[in-house]
A = this chain, B = another copy of it.
Amino acid sequence: MNILGIVVEYNPFHYGHLYHLQASVKKTNADLTIAVMSGSFLQRGEPALTDKWSRTKMALLAGVDLVIELPYIYAVQKAEIFSDGAISLLDHLGVTHLCFGSEAGNIDAFITTVEEVATREAELDEQIQAELKRGCSYPKAFSTAYRTIFQQKNVLDLGKPNNILGYHYVKALRKRRSSIKPFTVTREQAGYHETALKNEKIASATAIRRQLIENGKPLTAMINYLPPSTFQQLANHRQRTGSFLHWELYFPYIQYRFLTSDIEHIQRIYECEEGLEYRLKKLITDAASFQELMKKVKSKRYTWTRIQRLFVHLLLNTTETFMKEHCRPLHPPYIRLLGMSPAGRAYLSVKKKELIIPLVTRVSEYDHPALQKDTAAAQIHGLPLQPAALPSEEYKAFPVQLETAD
C-alpha cells in the first residue's frame, strides 16, 4: 500500500494545490494521502484566513484522506523545525512516500545536497556564523554560506522558498533514518510570493489573500481562481463570522500585550532577542496599524517572517521556557486528527493500534501543554470574529468526516 504524505498550509486551498496533490498521487501511485497541515497560525507567522476546520474540509474535498494538525510549537517556526515536526508526524503515521512541490523539481538534487551538506556541516556552520556576525538574517546567512562553499557544484538553488522547505524535508528524513521515499513535483506557474493575479486559473495563496483582504474584493470576483470546495468554505466562513482573518485584526491584542506586560515579561517571549523588546515597546505606541509597525521593526537583521513569527509568539504569550521544554520536533507529543475520508478512517482504525504516540480526536480527551497551546491559539485566532462565542468550539470539535468517498 502506497501512502503519500504531504505538508500543507492551504491558506486557502487553490488550483496550484490541487495540481500538486493530483501530480503527487500520480507520481507516487498512492492509495491514500495524509496531509500534515498548520493550524491557526502559519509558518510565515500569519493568522490563517479561516479556522482550521474550513481548511480541513477544503483538503478532504480535494481528495486528502487524513488531515493532521502540525502543532503550533512546530508550525510557527523556521523551515528546519517546521520540517522536522511535519516529517516526524508523517513517519509515525506510516507514510511510505513524501512528495513536495519545489522550484527545482528534481529529487536527486535534494538528496545530493543534503548528503553533501552533511559531510561539510562544520564548515558550513562556521561560514553561517561569519555571515550572521555581519548583521544579516539567518536565511540570508545560510544561503550565502551555502553558495560560498558549494560554488563549483551544480547544486540546489537554496534562495527559492520551496527548495528550502524541500531541502529540510529531505534532511529531516535523513535525521530520522526514515524509510519514507521522497519525491518532488515542479511548482507550476504562480510563484510562492507572487502577489498579483494573472489571467491563468492558478493564483498563489498570497495573491488570493491580498485580493480578498487588502483590495477588499468580493469573494465572487475570485471565483475563477478558487476550486468550488474552497469557494464554498470561504463563503460559509464569511457568512458565519463576517470577516476573513488577517494581522490587522490582531493589532489591538498586540498593543494590549505591551500595555499589560512589563519589559521583563516581554523579554521572556520566545524569539524576542537582543534588546528587541525595547525597540518594540517604543515603536508599538506610535504605529497606527500592524503594517506600519512591521515596516518600522523590519531590518537587515530580521526578516519579515521572523518578526511576524515573533508577533505570533507575543500574541499567544509563548515563553522561551515553554518552547525549550516542549518543542522537540523529532518527538511529537501527539497526533491531532482534524479530518478524515472514509478511506482515511479505515486506515486509521487499523494503524492506531501501532501508534506509539497518542492519537487525539478531541482536545478535551488529552492533556498536554502543547495541545493546550494549540487550543488557545485557535481560540485567540477566533477572538476578532463575531459571535465572540466562537472560541469554545475548539473544545468540542470532533474531526471532520467525509461521509462518502469522492
Assess A388 versus B251: contact at CB under 8 Å? Given A256-B383, A259-B380, A379-B259. yes
Q: Which residues of B contact A122 (CB under 8 A)?
A: none
Q: Which residue of B lies closest to A384 (CB)?
A: B252
Check A255/B379 contact, CB under 8 A, given A260-B316, A316-B260, A317-B260.
yes
Cβ < 8 Å to B, chain A residues 350-406: 376, 379-380, 383-384, 387-389, 391-392, 395
* A259-B388 in contact (CB<8A): no
Most chain B CB atoms below 10 A, which of A260, A317, A379, A384: A260
Contact B285 A388 (CB under 8 A): no
A253 within 8 A of B: yes
Alpha-carbon distance between A253 and B252 when the two chains are bound, in angstroms: 9
Asked if A288 is an interface residue, CB under 8 A from chain B, the answer is: yes
Distance in Å: Cβ of A268 to nearest Cβ of chain B: 13
List the number of copies, as a whole number.
2
Bound-complex Cα distance A43 to B376 (A): 32
Closest to A390 in B: B288
B288 touches A389 (CB 8 A): yes
A325 interfacial by beta-carbon distance below 8 Å:
no
A379 proximity list for chain B (CB < 8 A): 255, 259
User: Could you say which residues of chain B place their CB within 8 Å of the CB of A392?
Assistant: 285-286
Are the CB atoms of B388 and A260 closer together than 8 Å?
Answer: no
Q: How long is the Cα–Cα vector from A288 to B387 in the complex, in angstroms?
A: 7
Shortest CB distance A403–B (Å): 29
A129 sits at the interface (CB 8 A)? no
| 0/1 interface trace, chain A 289-325, chain B, CB 8 Å (1 if under) | 1000000000000000000000000001100000000
Q: Report the Cα distance A261→B286, complex, angstroms.
A: 26
| In the bound complex, CA of A124 to CA of B392 (Å) | 46
* Chain B residues whose CB sits within 8 angstroms of the CB of A384 once the complex forms: 252
Interface residues of A in 216-264 (CB under 8 A from B): 251-253, 255-256, 259-261
The 5 closest A-B pairs by CB, nearest first: A288-B389, A260-B317, A252-B383, A259-B376, A285-B392
Given contacts A256-B256, A260-B376, A286-B389, 8 further A-B contacts (CB under 8 A): A252-B383, A255-B383, A259-B380, A259-B383, A285-B391, A285-B392, A285-B395, A289-B388
* 16 examples of A-B residue contacts, CB within 8 angstroms: A252-B383, A252-B384, A252-B388, A253-B256, A256-B380, A256-B383, A259-B379, A259-B383, A259-B391, A260-B316, A285-B391, A285-B392, A285-B395, A288-B388, A288-B389, A289-B389
